[in-house]
Amino acid sequence: MTRATAAILLAAACAHLASAPPTKYRTGDFVVYRYSGLFSRLPVLLREEVVAQRGNRLSIEVTARRGDEERRWVQVVEDTPGNRAANRVEELVELKDGKRIRLENRDNRDLVQLYEWTLIFPEGPATDRRLVPCSDRVEGQSFSCECVSARVRMMGHPVEIVERSCADFLWTHSSSLARDMETGDVIQKVEVVQAGNTGAP
C-alpha cells in the first residue's frame, strides 16, 4: 500500500467518523424513574447517571432501590442508533460490597437479571399493536411523543400496555402504563420523577 493510498483511506475513515451523529449525553446527565403497581410488592426507584463520556462511549451508573434492597452497576455503551435498538452493552460491572465485579453478560442475561425488579413478563406475543402521536410532561416541560399500545396476557388476564417514546426527551422513554383490561388494576406504572444534570465536570 502506497502512502497516498493510506492517506486516502485514513481520510475516508475520518470523514466517516465525523459524519457519525454524536451522542447527546454528557457527564452528569441523569434520570430517575418510579415503577409501581401490582407487578412488585414495593415501588422501585431506578436512577441512571452518565458518570463518564468520551465521544459516543458512555459509562452509565445505575442504582435500583426496592424498599431496603439496592442494586448498583455500571454499564458501558457505544451510543449509536443500532446499539440502542439492540440494547447492546460493551461492558457490565456490578458494584457490590465495595467491589467491582465484571459480568460476562452473555446474551444480555446478566443485564436482565440486574433490571429484574423493573421488568414485567407477558405470556406470549403482543397483539393489536398501534402507534399514535401523543404528548407527555417531564419536569414541567411538555414533549411531543409517540404512544405505542399493545395487548398482552399476564397472569391469565388481558392487559393493555401503553408506552410513550419522546424523541426530544434526552432519555427517550418517559412514561408507560400496563392495565388489566378486566379489572382495571394497574399492573405497572412507570413515571419520570426527576431528570437533569448534576453539574459534574
- pLDDT confidence of residue 20: 52
For the chain, give the mean pLDDT. Answer: 90
Q: Report CA 41 to chain centroid distance, whole Å.
A: 22
For the range 134-140, what are the long-range contacts, defined as Cβ-Cβ under 8 Å and sequence gap of 24 or more? 134/164, 136/164, 136/166, 136/169, 136/174, 136/175, 138/166, 138/169, 138/174, 138/192, 138/195, 139/192, 139/194, 139/195, 139/196
- pLDDT confidence of residue 16: 41
Q: What is the pLDDT of residues 38-48, one digit of tens each?
A: 999 999 999 99
Strand-strand pairing, 57-66 and 44-54: antiparallel
Report how far residue 173's alpha carbon sits from residue 61's, in angstroms, rounded to the nearest whole number.
17
3 state SS of 179: strand
State the DSSP code for 191.
E
Segment 117-141 mean pLDDT: 94
**Has residue 51 got a pLDDT over 80?**
yes
Specify the pTM: 0.86
Strand-strand pairing, 57-66 and 157-165: unpaired
Q: Which residues pair with 93 in a beta bridge?
A: 74, 102
Segment 153-174 mean pLDDT: 95
CA 42 → CA 22, 35, 51, 155, 183, distances in Å?
38, 9, 28, 18, 20
Place of cell 460490597: 97
